[in-house]
Amino acid sequence: MLPTSPRALRDPELRRRRVDEAKTVESVLELNRLVWRISRRERCEDRLPYLDPTYGGVNADVIVLLKAPQADADPRRGEGRLISLDNDDDVAAVLFDLFAELGIDRSRCVGWNICPYPTVGFDPNSDELSRGRGDFDAFLRLLTRPKAILVLGSAVRRGWLDHSFDELLGSEMRVVFGPSPYGIDRRRGARASLRESLLDAFERNADR
């Protein structure tokens, strides 16, 4: 049963169960094996955030692309990190609420970070983005039917464009740019813009 309110992973027992499932549920198993390999390369073995098994995993048709494992997903906060709508942070809470408001089924999507490891600065640098491009290519090859990617935030958009991530996509995939959920209510019109971006990526993609 899915949570009915945001920040559910503040419950350590739920977090423990989700992390265990992330390593066994078939839809995310190969994706999380990729995460493990990246963690080994980055010398933070088994500490990068795994993909939440409540996502659609390899069967997702929409990718939600964020910046890097920060806030509740930051490996420096300890073991058991996840990329999840149920994380105990503001970004996840904003997305949780908008998914609920718009009636979006989370099993239609999968999350990823343009840099799937901690960055030196608040935003990724060019070297980190170059490595992240290769990791995104490996991630994309594991998905069975991706149709759209929702690129969230100015830093992610800049990295996407500057490092030509679009060259990795199939001809049928759509790219939708939207604002970062971080601090969204401090920016005039940003919540409405994010809402429209979600509709564009999910609802206008539903019959494709």
Residues of the chain with pLDDT under 70: 205-208
* pLDDT tens column, 15-72: 999 999 999 999 999 999 999 999 999 999 889 999 999 999 999 999 999 999 999 9
Q: Where are the domains of the chain?
A: 8-205
What lies within 8 Å, CB to CB, of 153 at 6+ separation is: 66, 67, 179, 180, 182
CA distance 97 to 130: 33
Q: Measured between alpha carbons, how far is 82 from 72 in angstroms, rounded to an integer?
A: 8
Domain 8-205 belongs to what topology? Uracil-DNA Glycosylase, subunit E (3.40.470)
With a CB cutoff of 8 Å and minimum separation 6, the contacts of 141 are none
Whole-number pLDDT of residue 206: 60
Q: What is the pLDDT of residue 170?
A: 86
Backbone angles phi, psi at 197, to 5 degrees: -65, -40
